[in-house]
Structure 1
Amino acid sequence: DRVQFEKDCIHIQSTVDDFLSWTTSTDNNSLSNDHPFSQYPNQEYFAYADYMHLPELFGNDQHPLIDMINWSDMGLKDRCGKESTLWIGSQGSHTPCHYDTYGINFVAQIVGRKRWLLFPPDSPISQLQTRIPYEESSVYLDIEPMILDKFHNIDVYDITLEPGDVLFVPKHWWHFVSSIDSITISVNSWLKQPNDNVEQIKEMLVRQIITSTMISHDYSSDQWLNHNEVVTDPVTNLTILSSLMINSESTEVKEPLSKRSRNVITPASYVHEQRLTSTLLGNSMLSHSNEPTTTNNMSSDVSDNDILLKRLVKAMTARDTIDLIYNKLFSI
């Protein structure tokens, strides 16, 4: 019943054409030996290319497809593909349940259907949040969301997003997303909010706690960070934190310290049977379904000190703790 994070995945570079040919193939023997997906039958794996900024994907912001994306019908004047990200997945691809610390989110479904489970910010599930593995600007749930029926009095919006639909995700709403059809394509855009600078400062406080603990205890990034996050030294963290505090009246949403990726987890029905693997095309992930799953549970050879340390970090990075530190920081 534990989430499989992206740090547990295998990542492979590929093109969109390779991804589409693999998704539509009926037999992997039809793929050439040098095809990046040739070792991964699509009956056993799913793949996800996620959080791809369109200008970075195309190498510039002048590509014709970028101008084809127009958010003006949503009242977002002059907003286009330059401020949008692309998501391409095969059937079964997932993102773990999480909320975004910055902005609000508009999602347009282009191809195929996706299932969205949305929970309000004050949902009881928030008690299960985790910052290990750490990922800047996302707070994840430390449990497989498809087993939430074990809990009582949980308000959830269960939505099937179809081609042509646009979904508005309010700030700090928890959401779990899964691809229903064989190919799904979505485009989204985040809009900055007046309080985002406060959230950036709080994210830097979390980063300082996480990375300082890692460095002082010689932990590897594989244990503590999600994929595409980097270990930053305390001096760098403090420099960025100082800059954010000086500009605390700014409402600008700055880019994360590293390119952030969403993650893929195995379907709930397989969660005790699968070991998640994944492949990155751009940011594409592939999941396998035959081997035993790995979990976030502590193994028997983990020392009591390691267990206590993670409990301490969880307590120090809890939202109410960070809120307290933030308030004290500006009152001294």
Structure 2
Amino acid sequence: MSALTEEVVRNLASKSSVPLVLRDFVNSWSLCKWPMEKWCAVFGDREIPFRCMKKDFLSDEPCWERRCKSTNMTFKKFADTASSNEEWMYFDYKYLHQWFSADDEIYKAVSWEQFGFPGKGPTDTTLWVGSSGAHTPAHQDTYGAVSWEQFGFPGKGPTDTTLWVGSSGAHTPAHQDTYGVNIVVQLHGKGWWHYVQNLDPINISLNIWLPHDDISDTPLTVLFLQLDTVAKAFLDKRRKLRRAKRQRTREDAVTTPDEHYDLKSLLDDRTNNLETASPITSQDLVNIIKENIKEYSNVDRPLRDDEVDGSATLCLTKALIDSFSQSNVIDLVKQNLFARLS
């Protein structure tokens, strides 16, 4: 049997190339059992800043942070008004140590040891609190991330605990129960596209950034050395694949299993509650967009002054970035690069 030890979970988080779901994983976290009254007591009477935006805001571009206004209110007021408010609200990307002291209960309750990161704690953890409709634009991180998300207040206790390892695209939560609390743990790999949208009236997340090299802090000479290493590895792999094809065997192209875990064995062991996540289809994505339009948009009303319609002046910077990001341009650069390296 293959057990999900701390080391195995850490390896899954950093090396798995497919999205995985692990249920009943963080039941030991006291936060998972906190009712809404407890969260109100934890935050107390302090006013915290929420970035806000009208739920039916219309624009021809993502709702960037710069478009949002900021409103200060207590957590209790947020909880009392989240369902009826015409705006979605997001208290996002806030480090715990900036808002709580070492004596606070939430500070003491956070530990990432069971994920294989015993050195990570509340000082490394960010907090996210949002209402229905609050979201981040689809984006890539230059680092890995682990997040714990809580859905479905008001709740009667946890109904499901889930671990997401990786995501190559947008995914809806694995399970939702409007009558209880749903706990979702997601491990996003470095560079994977992901999009977060809060679905329930009140959503709480905890997040840490995993240790990955950030190219923004990398000297240019080191960056080029890294690029050289990647290019040589690519060319070496391509040569191996050509030899394998000529010899009618794929032995040289087979990836050596990681010595720390065997994914198939982990999946076969039902006691692990581990499963592969079903990928979202194009139709699923269309359905999500249609539901969002039905839920939030009022296309019959006139545009407000802060909104943008499809005839808005084209942003030159955006147009330039989009032009360089076209797949045919990227393919051409790749071909030229490897042609020069071959």
Normalising by the residue count of structure 1, what TM-score does the alignment of the two structures yield?
0.47
Q: Which has the larger radius of gyration?
A: 2
- Higher percent of residues as helix: 2
Higher relative contact order (CA 8 A, sep 6+): 1
